Structure formats: C-alpha cells, structure tokens
Amino acid sequence: MIAESHKRELSAGQLAVVLLLPIALVNVVGFILPILNLARYSFNRARIGGGIEDVFTWENWVDLVSDPFYREILFNSIWVSLCITLVTLVLSYPIALYLHRATGPWKTFLTVLVISPLLTSAVVRTYGWIALLNDNGPVIGIIKALGLPSPSLMFNIKGVFIGLAEILMPYMILALLAGFGRLDPRVEEAARTLGATPARTFREIILPLTLPGIALGCLLCFVLAVSSFITPKLMGGGRVFLLATEIYDQAIVTLNWPRAATLSLLVLIVFGAALWAYSAVMRRLD
C-alpha cells in the first residue's frame, strides 16, 4: 500500500496541466488557429470571383478606417447593441428580481419558463416575430383597430430591436440572477426599518448590490447583440446594416474573404473593449 502510493503521485500543478490539456488542445485547434488564419487573410488581397491573393497589404485595414460606410457600420453596431442591451436590461431586471425572491415550486416553474425560449432556435423565434409584426400581422391589426397611427414594425431597425431584446432576455435574466448573490432580503428589511422608503431602499441598497449582476448581464447581451446575425438579417429585411450582417454579405455574397476577415477581427476588438470595460466596472465595485 505504502510502496504503491509512492509510485507515481502528481503534484497539484502537474495534475492541473494534465486536466487542462484536452480543452487547451480543442481551443488551439478550434479557436486560436482559425483566428490566426483570419488575421492572415485580413492582410491579403481579394481577387474578383472569390480568390485570395497571398500578398501582404494594409489596404483592408486602411479601407476600414477611411471608408465612411464601415465607420458607420461600426458605430451603428455598437450603438444599436448598447441600446438593445439597455432595453433588455430594463425589461429583464424586474423579472430577475421577482425570480430571486420567489421560493419553492413557483420559483422552479418560473425559472423553467424563463429558460424555455432558449430551447427553441433563434431562427424559429425570429420567424415567429415576423409573423406577428409584419404589416398585415395581428399587432399592426390591433394598432389599426384602435385607430392609432400604425408604424411599420418589420424590416427596419424597430423590428431588430423587438426581436433581439426578446431573444436576449433569457440570457440577461440568468446573468442577473447569477449576480444577485449579495442581495439578502434581511438587508433590505434593515434599510426599511432604518427609515428608507421603498424607492430609497431600491436606489441605495438593491441597485448597488445588484450591480455585479447588471454588469455581467450587459456584457453578455452586448456581446451577443454585436455578434447576432440571424435576427438582424431576417427582421432588418436587408435595410439594417450591422457588423455581423456585413461580414456575412462580404463572405457569402461578395466573396471578399479578406474584407470579411478584417471585419471579423474588428468585432473581436469590440469584444475586447467590452470585456475591458466590464472588468473596470467590477474593479470599481469591489
């Protein structure tokens, strides 16, 4: 027994390396190498008809900065994603707060209800929205029946907003819940007994204590919004130009792979900036 245990014992560090090796390998092959490949393409030149000329050139990056079309797409993407994140947050926060306080089978039931949209693909849900929101759909029908001016809710930025906000809500709610750990009902009660009105309790206690959840949810939803493709593509009706849809157009329609690669890397840079902002907020909170 004793002799055996001496035979081969890994130190904690060695064990960690062994256990991390498989996922590290998957990441290198499935993530790092493709990104390096993308980085190479972004410095190549596109040939008409979809070929790639293997030369080193800065022109894709120069175009990105100098062409006002791309600048607009970039700012548009970030701005729209930020707005959608904010809308999603406002819609999700009360639900998350309620779920956090719910108990027993009711809580389980509601949690399942929140997660259930994730079991349906975004394509199906987007088509669902199209059926509801199109110019001859029931929503417009009700607005018209009420005698209100009927806006067009489909194939424009409004449709993208509605669709994406709904699709992102489960993610936001789950992220908020994960970050609500510090919110103890006793602490809220303490504030109330000390003379805080419900509104001040929310502002001074609940909101600050749920900020970690808010930051996490916003990061997640912003990243998902910037990279979302199906919903803007289908609900924007080709009239909404965002980074993800443009990458698709460049890669599949125009067959300009170097440009698509450059835009993809730009998305990656935006993610990096979002992550940096998130960790800055979290550092401040601690």
Partner 1 sequence: MAMSSAREEHLRLEGVGVSFGTVNVIPSLDLSVPKGEMVALLGPSGCGKTTTLRTIAGLNKPSKGKIIVGGRDITHVPIHERDMGLVFQSYALFPHMNVLENVKFGLRMRNVPSREAESRARQALEMVQLAHLAHRKPRELSGGQQQRVALARALVIEPSILLLDEPLSNLDAKLRDEMRGQIRSLQQQLGITAVLVTHDQVEALSMCDRVVVMRSGHIEQSGTPTEVYERPATAFVANFVGRTNKLKGTVAADGSLMGLGQVLHAASKPGPGTVDILIRPHRIHVSDGDGAGDAENRVRGEVSNVTFVGDLVQYTVSVAGDEIVVEESTRRGQKMLSTGETVTLAWSAEDTLVFPENQT
Using the minimum distance from each CB to partner 1, give the nearer residue, 128 or 198. 198
CB of 161 to partner 1, least distance (A): 33
Using the minimum distance from each CB to partner 1, give the nearer residue, 54 or 184. 184
Helices 59-66, 257-285: crossing angle, 10 deg rounding:
60
∠ CA 181-85-246, nearest 5°, is: 135
CB of 196 to partner 1, least distance (A): 5
Classify 154 as helix, strand or coil: coil
Residues found near partner 1 in the complex (CB under 8 A):
182, 184, 186-187, 189-198, 200, 204-205, 208-209
* Under 8 Å between Cβ of 263 and 243: yes
CB of 286 to partner 1, least distance (A): 10
Question: What residues contact 199, with CB distance under 8 A and at least 6 apart?
Answer: none
DSSP lists the bridge partners of residue 53 as 45
Using the minimum distance from each CB to partner 1, give the nearer residue, 45 or 192. 192
Using the minimum distance from each CB to partner 1, give the nearer residue, 191 or 267. 191
CB of 199 to partner 1, least distance (A): 10
Question: What residues contact 18, with CB distance under 8 A and at least 6 apart?
Answer: 10
Using the minimum distance from each CB to partner 1, give the nearer residue, 206 or 225. 206
Torsion of CA 234, 75, 252, 40, to 10 degrees: -150
CB of 210 to partner 1, least distance (A): 10
